[in-house]
């Protein structure tokens, strides 16, 4: 496949997901889940998987589709049935008849990528399950190649607490103003700031990307070396680069009306990790393609965030009131900015 097409695919993804896909290609990671993949890049992903001997799965109207080389396997799953090799009907078809992915209102889809069939089947089955016990969560971490120490920490503490304690440690050590880029190249929450396995994985993911394309590597590193505004619990960030642009008075007035002692700045917002939209009462979350680009941001640590466009359209307005009551004890790490320190050769 044309290298340029591969680079376009990688750069269409969130930078962390670009790292994960590159790591699966190189063998540094057994599998990954790519969210909000734009439909226009689906043909490129299919060709990449075939050329690199990867296995690919996604939802289509006809059911779950799994691509393995020139084989197309489809499972029409009814309620309560599990995805397995026995459920898949194997056929060899021409490229034109490969079922297209089922997309959301934003024209995107979720896909699973792995280096072998059994890993992929188990990954899809566990990820799609509505309820997961600790054993299933632990197995998911293993399938995704996360360090055992980090998986153990996640199982023991749960998603909300594990991310809160990790971000609290960044704040306590001053690393919220400049954390290692390796931490942002991986998806999981490190069990501690001294987790050497996480740092090694981050370096391996980035090196995998460099081996595919120095251009893609350079762009992804610049995107990872950004500021990350936490807008909710867990791994929920808006990535941006601060701009030396004056914030208009109308936005400053708006921010003061809805947030206590807000910090206000002009930014270039990067691609959201997942495209989504939610609104309830005065609160709003519009993490869509339109969120990217020049925006004005106001945030009050532990209190809330407001993001609007130059035309005064509000894209995000969230406060501590939008969190579940039982999770308010973790709000101190939310609505804060965490900065990546890039020390890699780009």
Mean pLDDT estimate for the chain: 93
- Check: CB of residue 238 under 8 Å from CB of residue 228: yes
Task: For residue 238, give the H/E element and its range.
Answer: strand 237-242
For residue 37 the two structure tokens come to 């993949």
pLDDT at 87: 55
Confidence of residue 86 (pLDDT cuts 50, 70, 90): low
φ, ψ at 249 (rounded to 5°): -55, -35
Exposed/middle/buried for residue 236 (C-beta within 10 Å: 0-12, 13-18, 19+): middle
Contacts of 174 (CB under 8 A, 6+ apart): none
Cα–Cα distance, 204 to 209 (Å, whole number): 9
Residue 346 has pLDDT above 60, yes or no: no
Quick one: what percent of the chain has pLDDT higher than 70? 92
pLDDT at 85 over 70: no
pLDDT digit string, tens, across residues 184-221: 999 999 999 999 999 999 999 999 999 999 999 999 99
Q: Which residue has the tokens 């791994």?
A: 235
pLDDT attached to residue 129 = 86
What gap in Å lies between CA 171 and CA 178, rounded to an integer? 10
How far is Cα 115 from Cα 265, in angstroms, rounded to an integer?
A: 43
Predicted structure pTM score? 0.93
Residue 238 has pLDDT above 50, yes or no: yes
Q: Which residue has the tokens 């500021």?
A: 227
In the chain, the DSSP E strands lie at 31-38, 55-60, 63-68, 71-75, 89-92, 108-114, 179-180, 227-230, 237-242, 263-269, 276-280, 283-287, 293-300, 304-308, 314-319, 337-341
């Amino acid at each position: 496949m044309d290298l340029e097409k591969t680079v376009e695919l990688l750069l269409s993804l969130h930078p962390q997901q670009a790292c994960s896909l590159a790591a699966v290609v190189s063998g540094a990671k057994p599998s990954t889940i790519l969210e909000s993949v734009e439909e226009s890049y689906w043909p490129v992903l299919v060709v990449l998987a075939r050329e690199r001997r990867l296995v690919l799965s996604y939802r289509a109207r006809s059911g779950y589709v799994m691509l393995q080389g020139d084989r197309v396997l489809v499972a029409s799953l009814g309620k309560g049935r599990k995805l397995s090799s026995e459920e898949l009907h194997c056929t060899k078809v021409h490229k034109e008849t490969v079922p297209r992915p089922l997309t959301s209102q934003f024209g995107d889809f979720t896909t699973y990528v792995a280096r072998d069939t059994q890993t992929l089947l188990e990954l899809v089955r566990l990820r799609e399950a509505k309820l997961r016990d600790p054993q299933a969560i632990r197995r998911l971490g293993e399938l995704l190649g996360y360090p055992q120490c980090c998986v153990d920490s996640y199982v023991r503490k749960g998603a909300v607490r594990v991310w809160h304690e990790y971000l609290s440690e960044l704040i306590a050590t001053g690393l919220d103003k400049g954390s290692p880029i390796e931490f942002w190249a991986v998806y999981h929450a490190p069990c501690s700031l001294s987790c050497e396995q996480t740092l090694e994985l981050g370096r391996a993911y980035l090196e995998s990307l460099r081996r595919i394309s120095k251009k893609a590597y350079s762009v992804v590193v610049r995107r990872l070396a950004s500021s990350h505004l936490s807008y909710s619990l867990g791994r929920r960030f808006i990535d941006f680069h601060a701009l030396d642009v004056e914030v208009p008075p109308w936005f400053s007035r708006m921010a003061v009306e809805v947030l206590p002692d807000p910090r206000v700045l002009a930014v270039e917002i990067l691609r959201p990790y997942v495209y989504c939209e939610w609104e309830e009462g005065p609160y709003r979350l519009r993490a869509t393609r339109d969120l990217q680009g020049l925006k004005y941001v106001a945030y009050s640590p532990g209190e809330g965030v407001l993001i609007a466009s130059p035309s005064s359209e509000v894209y995000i307005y969230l406060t501590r009131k939008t969190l579940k009551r039982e999770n308010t004890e973790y709000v101190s790490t939310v609505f804060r900015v965490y900065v990546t320190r890039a020390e890699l050769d780009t």
